[in-house]
Structure 1
């Protein structure tokens, strides 16, 4: 009777393969769970925390302005000049003369509130567009070097479209004549949406100039001085390759 010979080397190789497959499977599952947690953190947790922080800042600003009796105060950063009776393009601007020139806003400090009724948006505006100190907090950031609310020229701001509160996620839904309000310690400035640039280069500096006009797509923008607001964000969603731009014109100013 022939006794079967056990090939120990073959068994060991088979066992090693099974162990390698099992270990590889565990690594893949672990990596998948880590990736899922990272996605959840970016898409849910950062939004939750940023929105909550932004809401608290809006409430704090409103309390501060109320305690100050509506007057300008140190670090508020409202408009430095009053709009004329009629803005560029013939649009009537309603309101009274503004207050005295305020102090310059402190970098990364929130000093105004941006309100877009159509989107149900109410978010702080801070000086500068630093990701860490402004945008990732769920705030809208004011481009340093552009004008302040109500000033002649261009009040230009940026905000995240995805994650970290994503305040500008739906600005592509804005239509002509939709209102955008900027509340400060001294006044509320109301702009009406006028034009939209669906996509341009992230380096298109022309869209935030005093007379905003795209240098990449010159058919979009303006050719005469006025009282403008510019909203910028990333596009397409979940990328930062291009910029989406919405422009508006000042239509009224209401002192506090």
Structure 2
């Protein structure tokens, strides 16, 4: 009679393989969950946080400006008060030319250079349903990741001759410029400050250029990569820049506008 032989070594080997396979599967599942959480954080949570923060900042700026307007109105209640209030706020009567062109009055100009990372204006684009704060600088942590639009340092302020150039995220962190490619010639872009409301009209679009194309934000904007796009004469320009294609940062999309009117607050 034969005695059955149990191959213990083979069983132990198969058990080790099974454990390795199980552990590997656990690692893959864990990595998948972590990856999904990271994607959800980037595409949903950062947008929610940034949009809520940007909306609160817009309301804060509006309340601040309204409060200043009420204070000036109270001061102007007495004899000669209106003139003195206008003088204190730098508001003259010649802020507009009467024909929709930018005026030369001091009221149309910002009072002082904004502090770094300070939100000091509100950008509204009706076609996109967009209303976000504008802050000085284009740093990610201090400006763009808050859902704000950032003003390029050393470019003009709103209402001044030159190029008021702005940057914003296209994806994540509020993605204010996600649909920038939907703008068409003639679309309104409104910039509000404590001093005035500036209305620009979209004029031209550069669908794609390199990330280092600094010519697009010069005082007279003109692409150094695609010279057919841009301008040759001084004017009151607005430049909006963001990444393209979506979910990449390889290229830049550029939209240019020109100032059409200035309305003192």
Question: TM-score by structure 2 length?
Answer: 0.88
Judge conservation of contact 2:111–2:195 (CA < 8 Å) in 1: no
- 1-side partners of 2:96 and 2:220: how far apart? 16
Q: 1:160 aligns with which of 169, 175, 178?
A: 169
**1:252 alignment partner in structure 2:** 261
Extract unaligned runs of 5+ from structure 1. 87-91
Extract unaligned runs of 5+ from structure 2. 73-84
- 2-side partners of 1:29 and 1:188: how far apart? 54
Judge conservation of contact 1:98–1:255 (CA < 8 Å) in 2: no
- 1-side partners of 2:123 and 2:251: how far apart? 23
Provide, for residues 131-164 of structure 1, a one-character-per-residue CA deviation record: whole Å limited to 9, x for no partner. 0010000000000000000000000000000000
SS at match of 1:211: coil
Q: CA RMSD in A?
A: 2.0
**1:233 alignment partner in structure 2:** 242
Provide, for residues 185-235 of structure 1, a one-character-per-residue CA deviation record: whole Å limited to 9, x for no partner. 000000000000000000000000000000000000101111000000000
Judge conservation of contact 2:58–2:122 (CA < 8 Å) in 1: yes
- 2-side partners of 1:58 and 1:101: how far apart? 18
Provide, for residues 82-102 of structure 1, a one-character-per-residue CA deviation record: whole Å limited to 9, x for no partner. 67778xxxxx51668342661
Matching of residues 176-255 of structure 1 within 5 Å: 176-255=185-264
Question: TM-score by structure 1 length?
Answer: 0.91
**1:11 alignment partner in structure 2:** 11
Q: 2:113 aligns with which of 104, 120, 129?
A: 104
Q: Is the alpha carbon distance of 1:84 and 1:225 closer, same or farther for their aligned partners in structure 2, counting shifts above 3 Å?
A: farther
- 1-side partners of 2:10 and 2:129: how far apart? 68
Judge conservation of contact 1:95–1:254 (CA < 8 Å) in 2: no
**1:67 alignment partner in structure 2:** 67
**2:159 alignment partner in structure 1:** 150
Q: List structure 1 runs of 4+ shifted beyond 2 angstroms.
A: 81-86, 94-98
**1:117 alignment partner in structure 2:** 126
Q: Is the alpha carbon distance of 1:11 and 1:101 closer, same or farther for their aligned partners in structure 2, counting shifts above 3 Å?
A: closer
2:189 is aligned with 1:174: no
**1:42 alignment partner in structure 2:** 42
- 2-side partners of 1:34 and 1:116: how far apart? 37
User: Rg: which structure is higher?
Assistant: 2
- 1-side partners of 2:205 and 2:57: how far apart? 29
Provide, for residues 4-37 of structure 1, a one-character-per-residue CA deviation record: whole Å limited to 9, x for no partner. 2111111111000000000000000000000000
- Give the number of equivalent residue pairs: 244
